[in-house]
Amino acid sequence: MNRRAFLAGVPAGVATTAGCLVGYGGAESEPTEFPGIAEYGFPSTICEEDLRADAIPAIDEPAFGPDWDGVELPAEYRAEGGLTDDRVVVGVASGGTARAYPLSVLTRHEVVNDTVGEPLLVTYCPICRSGLVASRELDGEAATFGVTGLLWKLPDAYAAASEASGKAFGATESDPDAGVRDSANLVMYDERTRSYWSQLLAEAICGPRTGETLEIRPSAVATWGEWRAEHPETEVLLPPPLSGTLNPAEVAGD
């Protein structure tokens, strides 16, 4: 699948430290070493912002089917023509299970808490066009992640470094080869500690877990037709309300 082949997290020859990339061979004007959160001393005011009660509802009870045919879709998905072969999906295959997560759903919900052999986190930031798949196991237990409703602009070159390393991937709903855009990025939170996490860094940037990182897992970017041809037994994520979501208003009001 060319660039759409599996992204295995950080490829051989690229080391990591504190979840930040070392040895990224970008343009000469870009740094080749990235310190961790503690060393760099960012972010600043984002840590003072409260979780927004009207934040985008993350998916925490995902439902799957062989396709979207015969499914009672919400109006916005029907208007888009449903899940056609040319729509872009994020694919994950592990332990004999293959699953596809349409970007049309991820664009609206940004975070999916799933289990595919292990607790898995599938994320997408439509503003940055950045996707990332990681284990959501923290301290030996499955963490549930939500969307803070906040955005954080990473220091220059971090977005490019994350993509070049294979840590994150770029895509849009219609283009599986679109690059990551250097822009304001999705900020997630884990439900237990309310720590804030940078999606592109896969690292906690505020709260009790600051400096902790998520372990990247292999994923693929493909059209639905391509993914289904390679994985005929695949399941595909069904959009809410078929899949259940977190209620950010309840979380913010705890």
d(CA 179, CA 163): 8
- Which portions of the chain are predicted below pLDDT 70? 1-44, 156, 252-254
Half-sphere exposure of 133 (CA within 13 A, CB side): 27
210 within domain boundaries = yes
234 within domain boundaries = yes
Residue 160: its pLDDT value, please? 79
34 within domain boundaries = no
235 within domain boundaries = yes
145 within domain boundaries = yes
92 within domain boundaries = yes
Give percent of the chain with pLDDT exceeding 70.
80
Q: Are strands 169-170 and 203-206 parallel, antiparallel or unpaired?
A: unpaired
43 within domain boundaries = no
| Residue 206 structural domain | 53-252
Residue 165: its pLDDT value, please? 82
44 within domain boundaries = no
Closest among 148, 147, 101 to 120, alpha carbons compared: 101
Residue 39: its pLDDT value, please? 55
Task: Give the total number of structural domains in the chain.
Answer: 1
